[in-house]
Amino acid sequence: MTAQQDDPSFKALTQKISRTRGIGCESYKEKCLKRRIAVRMRARGVHSYDDYSKLLDEDAHEYDQLLDALTINVTKFYRNAETWAALLRPYLVDLWRARRGRVRAWSAGCASGEEPYSIAVAIAEAARACGETPPWSHARVDASDIDRESLERTAAAEYPEVTFSEMPKDLLRRYFTADAPRRPVPEIRRLVRVLRHDLTRERPPDPPYDLIVCRNVVIYFDRPMQERLFLTFAEALTPGGLLLLGKVETLFGTARERLALEDPRERIYRRPA
């Protein structure tokens, strides 16, 4: 972050945000931080980082607005549906058999919950493929995010129709209530545990995991942070465990030696058994 170091007022502002709100700004891409802070500065009509810093002191609500802007949380059920189909067969079905239903998954950066409930649905589908009926009491999906509001929405688990546009209709009927807002059925909901967690500062919540899904999150981090995180994921996986990244994210660094690329198109990696 050379430019950030060259810009003392920007550096002072990001250090202050990190200190007061416990978000590790130093690990985010500078361009990304600048763009989002600029959105808030424009919205409040301030033109310098120093003035924006003063505004934060005077208006606590602006901190919430800024954190919302920093932790962009666009998401959907079965986002990139073809990825979920590829994950189910053969990977999740094999995993379900090998673990005899004791499948542990982690949705890291889960936003408002569409991703962890999608994982729960995919696990349920793997169970069904193996002829197992609910409750699938030994399976679990940890859903974590840094953003409290997103976590509240994950826990509330109420979703408008538009969030299901990529989800196959048979899965929607099988695993969600019919009325709007739709809710996951109790067997799915029971699988998901909601946790606050900062990927840049904390160890994984409850390793080891058989499946880690971290999609469209690391793109916001700088390269050293991405590399550290990939290694952390590799270490948190069980032998034979899977890592799923976002469509535009690629594993690099030391973690490449620990994880094999199974499906380059869908960004599925596996720790050798």
Instruction: Return residues touching ligand SAM (CB under 6 A).
Output: 71-75, 79, 109, 111, 115, 145-147, 150, 197-200, 215-217, 220, 246
Beta strands in 92-236 (DSSP E): 104-108, 140-145, 192-196, 209-214
CB of 36 to ligand SAM, least distance (A): 11
| Closest to ligand SAM by CB, 205 or 208 | 205
| Closest to ligand SAM by CB, 134 or 205 | 205
CB of 107 to ligand SAM, least distance (A): 7
Angle between helices 49-58 and 8-21 (to 10 degrees): 20
Q: What is the DSSP string of 140-152?
A: EEEEEES-HHHHH
CB of 48 to ligand SAM, least distance (A): 26
| Closest to ligand SAM by CB, 115 or 210 | 115
CB of 185 to ligand SAM, least distance (A): 21
What helix, strand, coil percent values describe the chain, rounded to 5? 50, 15, 35
Give Cβ neighbours of residue 155 (< 8 Å, ≥ 6 apart).
Answer: 113, 194
DSSP-derived secondary structure letter, 133: P
CB of 246 to ligand SAM, least distance (A): 6
| Closest to ligand SAM by CB, 98 or 156 | 156
| Closest to ligand SAM by CB, 142 or 147 | 147
